[in-house]
């Protein structure tokens, strides 16, 4: 009588994968099977599978919780931006607009320094220190660009925020473009991770568009 060589692990695994109903046809075998489970004992194949499924479900549950938290944060931020918009469109002139902008960003967006700078105004040094973020924000090149976030060193913080820049370590730089005013809205934080390079900028870009539109409207009515 010829003895058949034992099947290898790969062959057994391939067979079971190709025939998922194998254990349904052999419930007694399922009951007898035991798989090693560390020093604490053994675990049946079904229990092992259930454990793996629980681990997968738990991971998906954590991911879902993160997505829900991010969505709620996004919704809260959108509501704050809407409230700021309602205030800005009522501003009678540019000083009032700037005051509303600074107060709201400090209160609602937890900013520790806010600066609205324009390229054509006195007091801004055209040869001052310039970061890559400022160039990408459109403050020097004049080409369309979006908001940029990142860390700041002490010199750039002082250039952007003057005396208020002491201790500011990160900032969001938002281009402002109106017919007669091109510049930068800078929002600073003492937290170096508050405005990181990988931060989403959708709301920041909308804020820049809003401020630009308000300045345009004021300019048309001769209030800028």
- Pair (45, 110) in one structural domain: no
Q: How many domains in the chain?
A: 2
Is 194 inside any structural domain? yes
Q: What is the CA radius of gyration of the chain?
A: 30
Can you read off the two tokens belonging to residue 34?
């035991």
- Write the CATH number for 156: 3.30.450.40
Its domain, for residue 82, covers 27-88
- Pair (123, 209) in one structural domain: yes
Is 19 inside any structural domain? no
- Pair (111, 207) in one structural domain: yes
Is 56 inside any structural domain? yes
186 φ/ψ sector (left φ>0, alpha ψ -120 to 50, else beta): beta
- Pair (48, 154) in one structural domain: no
- Pair (104, 123) in one structural domain: yes
Segment 114-134, tens digit of pLDDT: 988 887 653 444 444 444 444
- Pair (179, 103) in one structural domain: yes
- Pair (116, 214) in one structural domain: yes
Is 20 inside any structural domain? no
- Pair (152, 211) in one structural domain: yes
pLDDT, mean of residues 13-35 = 73
What are phi and psi for residue 23, nearest 5 degrees? -75, -20
Q: What are 173's strand-pairing partners? A: 148, 186
- Pair (53, 39) in one structural domain: yes
69, 88, 107: which is the final residue of a domain? 88
Is 161 inside any structural domain? yes
Average pLDDT, the chain: 76
**53-57, 125-129, 204-208, 216-220: least confident range:** 125-129
- Pair (129, 142) in one structural domain: yes
pLDDT, mean of residues 182-200 = 87
**30-34, 44-48, 201-205: least confident range:** 30-34
Is 9 inside any structural domain? no
DSSP output for 42-81: EE-HHHHHHHHHHHHHHHHHHHHHHHHHHHHHHHHHHHHH
What is the structure's pLDDT at 31? 57
pLDDT, mean of residues 131-145 = 44
In angstroms, the CA 171 to CA 109 distance is 13
In this prediction, residue 163 has a pLDDT band, given cuts at 50, 70 and 90, of: confident
In angstroms, the CA 155 to CA 188 distance is 14
């Amino acid at each position: 009588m010829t003895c058949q060589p034992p099947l290898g692990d790969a062959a057994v695994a391939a067979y079971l994968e190709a025939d998922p109903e194998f254990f349904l046809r052999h419930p007694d075998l399922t009951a007898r099977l035991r798989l090693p489970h560390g020093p604490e004992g053994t675990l049946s194949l079904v229990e092992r599978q259930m454990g793996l499924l629980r681990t997968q479900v738990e991971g998906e549950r954590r991911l879902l919780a993160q997505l829900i938290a991010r969505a709620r944060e996004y919704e809260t931020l959108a509501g704050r931006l809407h409230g700021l918009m309602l205030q800005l469109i009522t501003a009678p002139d540019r000083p009032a607009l700037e005051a509303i902008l600074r107060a709201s960003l400090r209160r609602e967006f937890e900013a520790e320094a806010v600066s609205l700078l324009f390229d054509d105004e006195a007091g801004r040094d055209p040869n001052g220190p310039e970061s890559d973020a400022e160039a990408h924000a459109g403050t020097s090149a004049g080409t369309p660009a979006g908001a940029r976030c990142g860390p700041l060193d002490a010199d750039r913080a002082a250039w952007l925020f003057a005396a208020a820049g002491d201790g500011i370590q990160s900032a969001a730089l938002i281009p402002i473009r109106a017919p007669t005013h091109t510049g930068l809205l800078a929002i600073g934080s003492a937290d170096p991770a508050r405005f990181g390079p990988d931060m989403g900028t959708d709301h920041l870009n909308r804020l820049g568009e809003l401020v630009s539109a308000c300045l345009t409207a004021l300019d048309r009515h001769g209030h800028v």
